[in-house]
Amino acid sequence: MTDIPIKMSREHLATCVIAYPVSKAFATPLSNTEKILRSFSDVRVITGTIEDARVETDLSGVRTYGVQHKTTTNVFVWILRYLLLEVRISLIMAKVAQKADVCIFFMEGGALLPVLIAKVLGKKTIRVVPSSILKETAKSHKIKRVALLPLICLQTIAYALSDMIVLYSPDLIKEWGLEKHKNKICIAHEHFLDFDTLKIRKEYKKRDNFVGYIGRLDEEKGALNFVRAIPEIMKEKDDLEFIIGGDGWLRDEIEKYIRKENLGDKVKLTGWIPHGEIPDYLNTLKLVVLPSYTEGLPNLMLEAMAYGTPVLATPVGSIQDVIKDGETGFIMQDNSPECIAENVVRALDHPDMECVMGRAEALVAQTFTYKAATERYKEIIGDI
C-alpha cells in the first residue's frame, strides 16, 4: 500500500469529499463514506446531484455543498453537462478545499479540473472508484468508445495526478484497464451493514416462490436480459413469480416485453424501491439475481446475504471476492437470457440451500462491519 504522509492529529484532520453525479444507486456508498470519515476527521462534501433523482443520501450534520446536474439520454449533451459540472464544482473547491488536508474524489469519471485545483492548493488526493463510468455510459447509451474519448482522456490524466486510487477488488485493476497505476492502487471499500437492524424477518422455507431483480433498469445492469430469461425459467418452474424493482431507461422496453409474452400475471414491476423498503422485498424473495455487465461491490448483494436471501450474480467487479459458487451464493458464466435461466433453476434446486445461506450470512457479518471499514480508511489516509 502506498503511504500518504499526513502528520495531523485526529482532532484537526480535515477531509473534503467530492462526489458526482449522485444517482439513487450512488446514495448509500456516499453516505457510508461520509460516516466512516466523520469518525476520525472533519468532513466537507461537495456533491453534484441529479435533478429529480429522489436521492436518499444521509449527510446530516455535514457541511454539504450541492450542485444540480440534469441528466439526458443524448450522450453528447451528457458529456457537455458533465464538463460544465466539473467547472462549477471546481469553483466551490477553490474555496472549500483550502481548509482540507486531503481531497477524496468519490466518483467514476474524469474530474480533471477539480483534481488540478486540489494539486494547486497543495492537497493530497485520493480517488475512490466505485464503478466504471465509461463502461456504464457506453452500455446505457449504446455508443462506441470513440464517442467517450474526451472523458477517457480526462480520466487518464486525473488518474495520473492522483496520489492514490482505491478499488474494491484487485480484479478490477485489469477489468477497468488500470494496470499502469498499480503502484498507487490500494484495495478498500466503504461498505458496512448495521447488524442491529439487519434481521431475517421471514424464514426461507416460509417464503413464497418469488425470484427478484432490484436495481436500475439500465443496459449495463442486465435487467432486460433477466426479463427475457423468464419464459425459459417458466418452462422448468412454472410455480415461480418474479419481482422487478427499479427504474431506468429500459422500463418501457421491459413493460412491452412483458405484455408481448403475456407475463403480466407472473411479473410485478414495483418502480424504484426506497432503500428503507428494500428489506421487505429481500425477506420475500427466494433468490436475488444480479445479471450485470459491470459492477463495483453491490450493496444489495451484501444486504441480501445478511437477510438470508441467496444471490445469483455474474462474475464481474468484486462479486467473486464475496460469492463462491455453491458456497456463499451462485455465479453464472454470463448474463445471456439462456445462462440466466439455466442458473436460476440450478440455484433453486441446490440440495443444501440452508448451508449456502448460513455461510453467506456469516461472511458478511464478519467482513462488512463499520469498524473494519473505518480502520481500513484510516490506514489509507495515513497516521492520523
Single-letter code of the amino acid located at 349: D
Q: Any idea where the domains of the chain sit in the sequence?
A: 14-192+369-381, 204-367
Backbone angles phi, psi at 17, to 5 degrees: -100, 125
CB 164 within 8 A of CB 186: yes
**In DSSP terms, which residues pair with 14 in a beta bridge?**
42
* Per-residue pLDDT tens over the stretch 326-376: 999 999 999 999 999 999 999 999 999 999 999 999 999 999 999 999 999
Q: Answer yes or no: same fold for 14-192+369-381 and 204-367.
A: yes
pLDDT in tens, the chain (384 residues): 444 444 444 457 899 999 876 566 677 888 889 899 999 999 998 887 644 444 445 555 577 887 777 767 677 787 788 788 888 889 999 988 998 999 999 876 667 889 999 999 999 999 998 775 555 444 544 555 555 667 677 778 888 999 999 999 898 888 778 899 999 999 999 999 988 888 888 999 999 999 999 999 988 899 999 999 999 999 999 999 999 999 998 999 999 999 999 999 999 999 999 888 999 999 999 999 999 998 889 999 999 999 999 999 999 989 999 999 999 999 999 999 999 999 999 999 999 999 999 999 999 999 999 999 999 999 998 844
Q: Indicate the SS3 state at residue 287.
A: strand
Q: Which amino acid is at 207?
A: R
How high is the pLDDT of residue 25?
Answer: 63
φ/ψ of residue 124, rounded to 5:
-75, 145
Fold (CATH) for 204-367? Rossmann fold (3.40.50)
A 10 A CB-CB count for 8 gives: 15
Distance of alpha carbon 182 from alpha carbon 162, whole angstroms: 12
pLDDT at 66: 76
* φ/ψ (deg, to 5) at 14: -125, 130
Q: How far apart are CA 40 and CA 132, in angstroms?
A: 29
DSSP code for 333: S
CATH topology of domain 14-192+369-381: Rossmann fold (3.40.50)
Q: Using CB atoms within 10 A of its CB, is residue 29 exposed (0-12), middle (13-18) or buried (19+)?
A: buried
| Contact of 17 with 41, CB cutoff 8 Å | no
Q: How far apart are CA 289 and CA 293, in angstroms?
A: 13
pTM of the model: 0.85
Decide the pairing of beta strands 42-50 and 63-69.
parallel
Q: Whole-angstrom Cα distance, residue 372 to residue 90?
A: 32
What pLDDT score was predicted for residue 253? 97
